[in-house]
Structure 1
């Protein structure tokens, strides 16, 4: 029973990433023609990553139309896909 719960929870989180409904973070990675944008949820990023907890703090972010804009040109889209 517990395993099924965690499996379903993992699938739910994966679905959030795919659908990006109600996202509040737009992450742009890569440079030049090798860029990609990811839509994510700051609450999940902060809860799962000490890096994002600091990086998405109020003093470090740019917000446009209620969405946090986060740029990481030094990370390739393929690598960031694995991280996220």
Structure 2
């Protein structure tokens, strides 16, 4: 909101299962597995992704991220 910049560290891969294979360890792929019986929830394996309603972005391919704030009608 104030235009400041921050450096941060974000883990690049999802937590691994004991039986995960090499491609997940290297975070060279991302696969989604159903989470329980809910058809709308999934858990990732491998490289972390950021998702929007129109695209997927792998964390290791991002060079810069900018967030835009949206003021609500309640804010002055």
Q: Structure 2 length as normaliser, TM-score?
A: 0.24
More helix by share: 1
Q: With CA pairs under 8 Å and 6+ residues apart, which has the higher RCO, 1 or 2? A: 1
- Please identify the structure whose Cα radius of gyration is greater: 2
